[in-house]
Protein backbone atom coordinates (compact mmCIF):
# COMPACT_ATOMS: atom_id res chain seq x y z
CA UNK A 1 0.00 0.00 0.00
CA UNK A 2 2.84 2.37 0.87
CA UNK A 3 4.67 1.50 -2.35
CA UNK A 4 1.57 2.27 -4.36
CA UNK A 5 1.14 5.72 -2.81
CA UNK A 6 4.82 6.48 -3.34
CA UNK A 7 4.49 5.46 -6.97
CA UNK A 8 1.49 7.76 -7.44
CA UNK A 9 3.36 10.67 -5.85
CA UNK A 10 6.42 10.07 -8.02
CA UNK A 11 4.20 9.93 -11.13
CA UNK A 12 2.66 13.27 -10.17
CA UNK A 13 6.14 14.81 -10.14
CA UNK A 14 7.19 13.54 -13.58
CA UNK A 15 8.07 16.45 -15.82
CA UNK A 16 6.68 16.88 -19.31
CA UNK A 17 7.36 19.62 -21.82
CA UNK A 18 4.52 21.27 -23.71
CA UNK A 19 5.81 22.91 -26.89
CA UNK A 20 3.96 24.88 -29.59
CA UNK A 21 5.81 24.83 -32.92
CA UNK A 22 5.04 26.80 -36.07
CA UNK A 23 4.39 24.27 -38.88
CA UNK A 24 5.90 26.30 -41.68
CA UNK A 25 9.12 27.48 -40.01
CA UNK A 26 9.44 24.81 -37.30
CA UNK A 27 10.23 27.64 -34.91
CA UNK A 28 9.31 27.16 -31.28
CA UNK A 29 6.47 29.54 -30.43
CA UNK A 30 5.83 28.59 -26.82
CA UNK A 31 7.31 26.12 -24.41
CA UNK A 32 6.42 25.23 -20.83
CA UNK A 33 7.46 22.45 -18.51
CA UNK A 34 4.49 20.82 -16.74
CA UNK A 35 3.91 18.10 -14.19
CA UNK A 36 0.59 16.33 -13.57
CA UNK A 37 0.55 17.95 -10.14
CA UNK A 38 0.83 21.42 -11.72
CA UNK A 39 -2.03 20.61 -14.09
CA UNK A 40 -4.21 19.47 -11.19
CA UNK A 41 -3.42 22.68 -9.32
CA UNK A 42 -4.21 24.83 -12.35
CA UNK A 43 -7.53 23.07 -13.00
CA UNK A 44 -8.57 23.19 -9.35
CA UNK A 45 -7.68 26.88 -9.05
CA UNK A 46 -9.68 27.65 -12.22
CA UNK A 47 -12.69 25.77 -10.81
CA UNK A 48 -12.35 27.65 -7.52
CA UNK A 49 -12.16 30.97 -9.37
CA UNK A 50 -15.24 30.02 -11.43
CA UNK A 51 -17.18 29.10 -8.27
CA UNK A 52 -16.17 32.40 -6.65
CA UNK A 53 -17.33 34.35 -9.71
CA UNK A 54 -20.67 32.51 -9.67
CA UNK A 55 -21.04 33.31 -5.98
CA UNK A 56 -20.43 36.99 -6.68
CA UNK A 57 -22.87 36.90 -9.58
CA UNK A 58 -25.66 35.38 -7.51
CA UNK A 59 -24.93 37.28 -4.30
CA UNK A 60 -24.69 40.83 -5.62
CA UNK A 61 -26.92 40.95 -8.70
CA UNK A 62 -30.62 40.48 -9.37
CA UNK A 63 -29.97 36.81 -10.15
CA UNK A 64 -30.15 36.10 -6.40
CA UNK A 65 -33.92 36.02 -6.78
CA UNK A 66 -33.59 32.87 -8.86
CA UNK A 67 -32.35 30.91 -5.85
CA UNK A 68 -35.10 29.83 -3.44
CA UNK A 69 -34.60 31.28 0.01
CA UNK A 70 -35.89 30.27 3.41
CA UNK A 71 -39.48 31.26 4.06
CA UNK A 72 -40.90 32.38 7.38
CA UNK A 73 -43.54 30.47 9.32
CA UNK A 74 -46.26 32.97 8.40
CA UNK A 75 -45.45 32.67 4.68
CA UNK A 76 -45.48 28.90 5.00
CA UNK A 77 -48.90 29.02 6.70
CA UNK A 78 -50.21 31.33 3.96
CA UNK A 79 -48.92 28.95 1.27
CA UNK A 80 -50.65 26.03 3.00
CA UNK A 81 -53.93 27.96 3.14
CA UNK A 82 -53.67 28.95 -0.51
CA UNK A 83 -52.94 25.36 -1.47
CA UNK A 84 -55.98 24.16 0.51
CA UNK A 85 -58.21 26.75 -1.17
CA UNK A 86 -56.85 25.69 -4.56
CA UNK A 87 -57.61 22.03 -3.86
CA UNK A 88 -61.14 22.90 -2.65
CA UNK A 89 -61.84 24.97 -5.78
CA UNK A 90 -60.46 22.24 -8.00
CA UNK A 91 -62.66 19.64 -6.29
CA UNK A 92 -65.79 21.83 -6.59
CA UNK A 93 -65.13 22.44 -10.30
CA UNK A 94 -64.77 18.70 -10.89
CA UNK A 95 -68.10 18.08 -9.10
CA UNK A 96 -69.85 20.80 -11.14
CA UNK A 97 -68.41 19.42 -14.38
CA UNK A 98 -69.60 15.92 -13.49
CA UNK A 99 -73.07 17.21 -12.62
CA UNK A 100 -73.33 19.12 -15.88
CA UNK A 101 -72.18 16.04 -17.82
CA UNK A 102 -74.86 13.92 -16.14
CA UNK A 103 -77.48 16.57 -16.83
CA UNK A 104 -76.47 16.81 -20.51
CA UNK A 105 -76.69 13.01 -20.85
CA UNK A 106 -80.15 12.97 -19.29
CA UNK A 107 -81.35 15.80 -21.52
CA UNK A 108 -80.01 14.07 -24.63
CA UNK A 109 -82.07 10.91 -24.00
CA UNK A 110 -79.20 8.89 -22.55
CA UNK A 111 -80.84 8.45 -19.16
CA UNK A 112 -80.49 4.68 -19.51
CA UNK A 113 -76.88 5.14 -18.44
CA UNK A 114 -78.11 6.32 -15.04
CA UNK A 115 -81.30 4.25 -14.70
CA UNK A 116 -80.74 1.47 -12.19
CA UNK A 117 -83.71 -0.55 -13.42
CA UNK A 118 -82.46 -0.75 -16.98
CA UNK A 119 -79.64 -3.09 -16.03
CA UNK A 120 -81.93 -5.71 -14.60
CA UNK A 121 -83.27 -8.27 -17.06
CA UNK A 122 -87.01 -8.44 -17.42
CA UNK A 123 -87.95 -11.65 -15.58
CA UNK A 124 -91.36 -11.87 -17.25
CA UNK A 125 -89.87 -12.04 -20.71
CA UNK A 126 -87.45 -14.79 -19.67
CA UNK A 127 -90.22 -16.99 -18.26
CA UNK A 128 -92.28 -16.76 -21.49
CA UNK A 129 -89.49 -18.31 -23.58
Q: What is the CA radius of gyration of the chain?
A: 39
Do 48 and 91 share a domain, yes or no? no
Q: Which of 4, 27, 31 is nearest to 18 (CA)?
A: 31
89-to-35, 57, 79, 98, 101 alpha-carbon distances in Å: 67, 41, 15, 14, 18
Whole-structure pTM value: 0.48
* Three-state DSSP class for residue 15: coil
Q: Are 99 and 93 in contact (CB under 8 A)?
A: no
Task: For residue 83, give its domain range.
Answer: 71-129
Residue 122 has pLDDT above 60, yes or no: no
pLDDT digits (tens, 9 = 90+) for 64-113: 888 887 888 899 999 999 999 999 999 999 999 999 988 888 888 777 67
Whether 113 contacts 105, CB under 8 Å = yes
Which one is predicted more confidently, 50 or 18? 50
Same domain, 64 and 75: no
Where a domain ends, among 23, 43, 69? 69
Specify whether 87 is located in the same domain as 108. yes
Amino acid sequence: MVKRSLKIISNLRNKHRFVLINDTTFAEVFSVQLTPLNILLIISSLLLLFAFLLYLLFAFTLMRHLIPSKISASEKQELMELNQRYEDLKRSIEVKNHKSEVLMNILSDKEALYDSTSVRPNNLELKKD
